Amino acid sequence: MKLRVGIGIDFHRFQEGRPLVLGGMVVPHEDGLGGHSDADVLLHAVMDALLGAAGLPDIGVQFPNSDVRYLDVSSLALLGRVKDLVSAGGWHIGNIDATIIAERPHLASYIPAMKQVIAQALGLAPEEVGVKATTAEGVGVLGRGEGMAAWAVVLLQKGVPKSENL
């Protein structure tokens, strides 16, 4: 059995007039995140972690912001495409662990649904997806509430059918 670990990190500023999309779902908030796609900072970090672990180019190469096909595109749809790329290399996802860093809004009540959405999109059990939220305790750009960031770590496995994952 072959194992690989990947890490993904993403940052987006808040932008007026956009919905806040996190973990493939809309979270009620006065501002959304700015970006070429729906700016789902959590899914962007997860996608980059998956791509990195599989030895593939990052989401900026896969889905460039210079391409109008990706303007306002759903990151959940892009996650499905990343899953296909990773699977085409013979990799199975063992687990995902991610953390959102944001001063606002309070995210705890949305996390179980985010885990469900991500798990369903990737064909995982919800317990194979970890999502947490924390604040930056008032430090820096994130601490001032100017935007959000997310970190994600994934484990990929090759050579073992999904039913026999760790």
What CATH number has the domain bearing residue 18?
A: 3.30.1330.50
Task: Report how many domains make up the chain.
Answer: 1
> For residue 166, what pLDDT is reported?
47
Q: How buried is 62 (Cβ within 10 angstroms: 0-12 exposed, 13-18 middle, 19+ buried)? A: middle
Contacts of 4 by beta carbon, 8 Å cutoff, 6+ apart: 53, 54, 55, 91, 155, 156, 158
Question: What's the CA angle centered on 132, arms 44 and 73, to 5 degrees?
Answer: 25
- pLDDT per residue, tens digit, the chain (166 aa), is 899 999 999 999 999 999 999 999 999 999 999 999 999 999 999 999 999 999 999 999 999 999 999 999 999 999 999 999 999 999 999 999 999 999 999 999 999 999 999 999 999 999 999 999 999 999 999 999 999 999 999 999 998 665 555 4
Structural domain span for residue 84:
2-164
For residue 105, is the peptide bond before it cis, meaning its omega torsion is within 30 degrees of 0? yes
Please tell me the pTM assigned to this model: 0.94
> For residue 105, what are the β-bridge partners?
none
What separation in angstroms does the CA of 150 have from each of 21, 23, 157?
13, 11, 23
